[in-house]
Amino acid sequence: MAHEEHSLEDPYKDSIVDRISMPELVKVQKIDELKTDWEGRDSVEFFEGRIVLTPKPIISSNLEQETVYGSLWSKPFKKSTGLDEVEIQLTLRSVGSFGNTGAGFSFFLVNDDDKVFATYNKNNFGGPSKFSGLQISLDGSHAKFGPSLRVYLNDGSKDINLDTDVLGAYRYEYQASNVPLTLKVGYSKNWLKITCDNKLLFQTDRISLSDLIGSPNFRLGLTAESPKDVKKYEQFEILRLKTYNQVSAELKSESRETLVARHIENDSSFRSKEKSLREQLAQKSGGDVPPTADLLQDIYKKLSAVEDALQQQPILQSDEQDGSGSNSQTNLQKQIFLLMKTMDRLTDNVNNVLRKSEESDKRSVVLERKYDKLTELLNRQSELLENAEASSRTIGKSFQQQMENFGQTLDSKVSNMHAEYVSKVGLMQNPEVEAKLNGLASFVKIVFLPLVALCCIIVLLVARLRNDIKHAKVL
């Protein structure tokens, strides 16, 4: 049935990226036909229209815990241009044993260069434990989740811990299914969505993979490991892999079902977000939660109540479950998924408020500094005005005193001249001389009176200048 579906006309065939896609495997004769764009490692082989990563062992190994590894990696773009958006469709299946087999499969999207790629180990289901990119793993051995799909992100700075670094874990009984499962990964401008058999696994708009898919070192990796034991082996088979340079409308549409089991790395994700928000708000308010946080407390309580209810529910199974209990649990999981997105938006809003408050504080500090500088400048101008006023006052007094001295000196000299003249000529009445003396006196009055008037004008101007200086100081 799977092959019939794949043989249908692909409406997005013109968007296929051949370098990181596989041809129709039913038409391939041997794995060497893939060597142009793909590199096979370890036990990988091709058999009847499918790529087998971990072939079934013929006999069990005598060595304890001996493992079969197999991987297939696309070759990097190198000189080719990277992608702006991408959708990857992967169809695979597992045949063999059930339960805790110790086997597992990983699907990688990485952008490590050749030097780092050469150092990849096999500690992560046949793939590297230290890488830069996205990983989707499938195994049935997890003590907490059981058979599950898990999502990881790594920046290449550390070896990933499969138990604690999980971004999302989703229970899926893939071992009990005779039908292959199809994973779809879509990314476009910080929007990432992952589905399994058209059921939502993971969706977020907070992760950027633009540098990854746009890198010339962008690679896809399919890795697996399985015990070399005929009683516990799992044979992981790749049936189809297509990569498109655009996200299909079907993947962008809202998924009707989810396989959500757990989000983030532990059961306290809601409380950890709540605690983080409370700490940020308390730190900003100096230890006291501001009144605006009262509105958030009701949301925190409701989230905690829903979290407790979720912990009391069994982990969501695949669509093999039936009955109203399964439907109600599915609805509950959808609500939890929506609440997680609401919590993320709430966290962003609080962070934006705190960031704007910090920016406002910084602007207030800058304004305070400018105000201090302006006050200092005004104080200096006030001191200069006071000094100018004192100087003008001193100049006015000095000028007035000098004019008074000049007037007294002039009167004294005229009196002396008159006395000397009288002593020389006596008291004789000479009309001609008396007329000359009268003319001299008139001349002196004509010269002296304007000088006195000029002094008065200068005194008035000095007084007016003092008033103007006082007025400027008050302003």
Query: Rounded to the nearest 5 degrees, what angle is found at the Cα of 120, between the Cα atoms of 116 and 123?
Result: 150
Whether 251 and 374 map to the same domain: the answer is: no
- C-alpha closest to that of 192 among 263, 110, 86: 86
- At 255, which CATH number? 2.60.120.200
- Identify the domain boundary among 266, 281, 315: 266
Whether 7 and 153 map to the same domain: the answer is: yes
Whether 261 and 375 map to the same domain: the answer is: no
Residue 294 forms part of a structural domain: no
Q: What is the pLDDT of residue 335?
A: 64
Tally of CA atoms within 13 A in the half-sphere of 174 that contains its CB: 35
Q: What is the pLDDT of residue 402?
A: 82
Q: What is the pLDDT of residue 307?
A: 57
Tally of CA atoms within 13 A in the half-sphere of 442 that contains its CB: 6
For each successive 10 residues of the chain (475 residues), what is the average pLDDT?
Answer: 49 87 91 91 91 88 79 85 89 88 93 92 93 93 82 92 86 83 93 90 88 92 92 91 93 70 44 57 52 54 58 43 47 63 72 80 87 87 83 82 80 79 63 74 76 84 80 64
Cβ neighbours around 413 below 10 Å, total: 11
Whether 64 and 207 map to the same domain: the answer is: yes
305: β partners: none
Q: Which domain holds residue 392?
A: 370-474
Residue 389 forms part of a structural domain: yes
Residue 437 forms part of a structural domain: yes
| 304-310 contacts at long range (C-beta below 8 A, 24 or more positions apart) | 304/270, 304/271, 304/274, 306/270, 306/332, 306/335, 306/336, 306/339, 307/267, 307/270, 307/271, 310/336
CB 101 within 8 A of CB 226: yes
Distance, in Å, from the CA atom of 256 to the CA atom of 407, rounded to the nearest integer, reads 112
Q: What is the pLDDT of residue 100?
A: 85
Residue 395 forms part of a structural domain: yes
Cβ neighbours around 330 below 10 Å, total: 20
Supply the DSSP symbol for 314.
P
CB 51 within 8 A of CB 72: yes
Per-position DSSP letters for 442-462, written without gaps between them: HHHHHHHHHHHHHHHHHHHHH
Residue 299 forms part of a structural domain: no
Helix (H), strand (E) at residue 152: strand 146-155
Distance, in Å, from the CA atom of 354 to the CA atom of 351, rounded to the nearest integer, reads 5
Q: Does residue 172 sit in helix, strand or coil?
A: coil
Tally of CA atoms within 13 A in the half-sphere of 285 that contains its CB: 14
Residue 50 forms part of a structural domain: yes
**What letter represents residue 436's amino acid?**
K
Q: What is the pLDDT of residue 318?
A: 39
Residue 113 forms part of a structural domain: yes
Residue 346 forms part of a structural domain: no
CB 87 within 8 A of CB 104: no
Q: What is the pLDDT of residue 287?
A: 47
- Identify the domain boundary among 236, 266, 296: 266
- Identify the domain boundary among 233, 266, 299: 266
Whole-model pTM above 0.85? no
Number of domains in the chain: 2
Per-position DSSP letters for 362-417, written without gaps between them: HHHHHHHHHHHHHHHHHHHHHHHHHHHHHHHHHHHHHHHHHHHHHHHHHHHHHHHH
